[in-house]
Amino acid sequence: MRIPKSTFLASLVTLLGLASLASALEPIRIVGTGARIAYTRFQTSGTSTAFWHRTPHQLGGPVDELDIGFMNWLHTSKTEMANTNVVTITHAWVERAATGQVLPLTFSGARNFDMPADSTQAYFLADPIPSTAWTGATPSRDELFWVSAKGSVATTGEFICQGTPSTYRDPANSSNRAKFCLYDPTNDPGTFDVAGPAPSIAGENTRTDGLPMVFLGRYTGPGHLSVVGIGDSIMTGSGDPANPVPEVSGYGFFNRAAVDGSSANTIAMLNVSRHGESAASWVSKHSFREQLLPFANVAVEEYATNDIGSNGGSADVNAIYGRLESIWADCQAAGIQKILRTTLFPRTTSVSYDWVSLEDQTPNAGWGDGEARDQINAMFPTAVAEGKIDGVVDTLSVTCDPTDTHYWFTDGTNDLMTSDGTHLRSAANIAAAAPLRAALLALTVDGPTETSYLNWSDSIEWSGGDSSPLADPNLDGVSNLICFATGADPLDAAAAADKLPTCGIMSDVGVDWLTFSYRERNNAAGLICSVISSETLAGWNELVPDGSAVILETLDSDPDGDGNYSLYQVKVNMSLRPDVRFLRLQVEL
């Protein structure tokens, strides 16, 4: 039912100057690929207490700022755990691959930074690097940046957390590669802030994973994907080659989905999954990863493989689903806008141990027709309908036998999709990445959300005042509906004054214009704002802009810096439209 019209008549007064505010600063988001949390920690031995880290990160969109962070905690598969010793970063720097330009990373202005022991803080950010610090154009989507860090632990036997893959090789130049190594600090070459690969160091111990880290920043505008991956070994990519990693974005179907077949059109991603983890362990403890969720606007969740287990005949489906609901709620509470859920893959044994045919496979208990896996997969469309998640990614049709999704796809090749019945090999990871990437690219993020009058009124403490649209609880002559449309305060007349329409007269090159400025809520459900005019106050008609006698201008597309309102001005040529003497803002729902 349409609510009756409400109008506001602006007195003809001298128009004061309108200040135009700067565009809203974008939030810090995941802006690149390649970063991961730690899944282990390496215990130093002998005299090798120093380290050198170098990893690649490709941008998911143009950025105004880079914010690089490092971590000093790990996930053991059962729980999150802070590292028990200090890890010192002595020098860190970022290289822009396109130009070879290097910029140092500082921490509160200093090069040296001690990541504290036993800290509850999930990440330690270096000082921001504004894009104006780079020579040339603003860093854009698909640009590659190399992050390097040198440091040490105080004594042998102490630990260094490891997580970000450090085995990537540039396909155009195999000598340009990622690296993480430990070495005797007396053999340090003494170089830092240098472009190109890390040097070979006498006695070095090279590892496949570098420091856990986050590659964050501020996009130049809204609408870019910042995706966090949450799950177990399937999300981690166990079964996909990790040395060298197959893509600049990493390994596993989640990380492979970050780029297309040309390793371009990048989607920024952070992988916080852990081999061996269950949804139950997330529910039990996720205090470190919880701090990372606000940097994402999209989450991809993949748990339940380990909750069902390899022998899941007695799995409690409702309990498992309840844990998943809890994880989705955590994501929404962190401000994540979209949640995608992947379907659970098959889990089978093989008579030949080679998974060469359908007949060679047998679904594990709980993974057969109508059993726990199917029951949980069947719950996901309902979760979409209930608004708990935003989509289900069909990974079964591309990895399973076309006649029965309880079996892995085979073509007679040994271990084509899996070599253990659970984990995806390269062919399966490549196949599963395609529907995930398509689902991600179909999402719209950071767009203005619709606000209904009811939602707005529910957010206000009326203290017994009338909250209905045409009511005027503070008796200032302005209805609640006008306040909803313009952002004025319905209870405080003084605070509302600068949000209400204003009228004035201006001269421009000998032409006198009657001006009417007003604010309008963006994307309000069912809201219609129009300017109406009258010559005598007896009758009113809609004033239609024609580009000459009546001109509509946008004075500020975001006057409050939050994207909720726009500021408009209608100008009326007084000589061409002498019939327009009075103006009103009319609001309808």
CA distance 376 to 486: 46
Nearest in space to 182 (alpha carbons), one of 154, 153, 214, 204: 204
Residue 14 has pLDDT above 90, yes or no: no
What is the arithmetic mean of pLDDT over 410-425?
Answer: 97
pLDDT of residue 163: 97
What pLDDT does 525 receive? Answer: 74
d(CA 178, CA 248): 10
Q: What percent of the chain has pLDDT over 90?
A: 83
Instruction: Give residue-wise pLDDT tens across range 340-357.
Output: 999 999 999 999 999 999
Across 166-276, where does the E strand assignment appear? 169-170, 173-177, 179-183, 205-207, 209-210, 213-219, 226-230, 268-271
Contact 191, 100 (CB under 8 A): no
φ, ψ for residue 218 (rounded to 5)? Answer: -120, 120
Q: In what helix (H) or strand (E) does residue 6 lie, and over which residues does it extend?
A: strand 6-9
Is pLDDT above 90 for 509? no
C-alpha separations of 72 from 18, 270, 313, 588 in Å: 49, 16, 39, 55
pLDDT confidence bin for 557, thresholds 50/70/90: confident
Query: Is the alpha carbon torsion for 280, 281, 286, 289 positive or negative?
Result: negative
Per-residue CA distances from 129 to 94, 145, 313 (Å): 9, 13, 53
Count Cα atoms within 13 angstroms, Cβ side, for 459.
10
pLDDT for position 99? 97
Which position has the token pair 């726990």?
372
pLDDT of residue 251 exceeding 70, the answer is yes
User: Token pair for residue 541?
Assistant: 């008609």
Q: Are 433 and 256 in contact (CB under 8 A)?
A: yes
| Buried/exposed 398-423: b ≥16 CB within 10 Å, e otherwise | bbbbeeebbbbbbeeeebbbbbebbb
Residue 449 predicted with pLDDT over 80: no
pLDDT digits (tens, 9 = 90+) for 44-93: 999 999 999 999 999 999 999 999 999 999 999 889 999 999 999 999 99
Say which CATH topology domain 222-447 has.
Rossmann fold (3.40.50)
Domains of the chain: which residue ranges? 6-24+452-588, 35-220, 222-447
Q: Quick check: 23 pLDDT over 90? A: no
pLDDT of 265 above 80: yes
- Paired with 404 in beta bridges are 401
User: pTM to 2 decimals?
Assistant: 0.75
For the ranges 172-181, 269-278, 362-371, 576-585, the lowest mean pLDDT is seen at: 576-585
Mean pLDDT throughout 195-218? 97
Higher pLDDT, residue 268 or 537: 268
pLDDT digits (tens, 9 = 90+) for 391-404: 999 999 999 999 99
Question: Where does the pLDDT of residue 451 fall: very low under 50, low under 70, confident under 90, or very high at 90 and above?
Answer: confident
Please tell me the predicted confidence (pLDDT) of residue 538.
85
Q: Kindly tell me if the per-residue pLDDT of 561 is higher than 90.
A: no
The arithmetic mean of pLDDT across residues 177-186, rounded, is 98
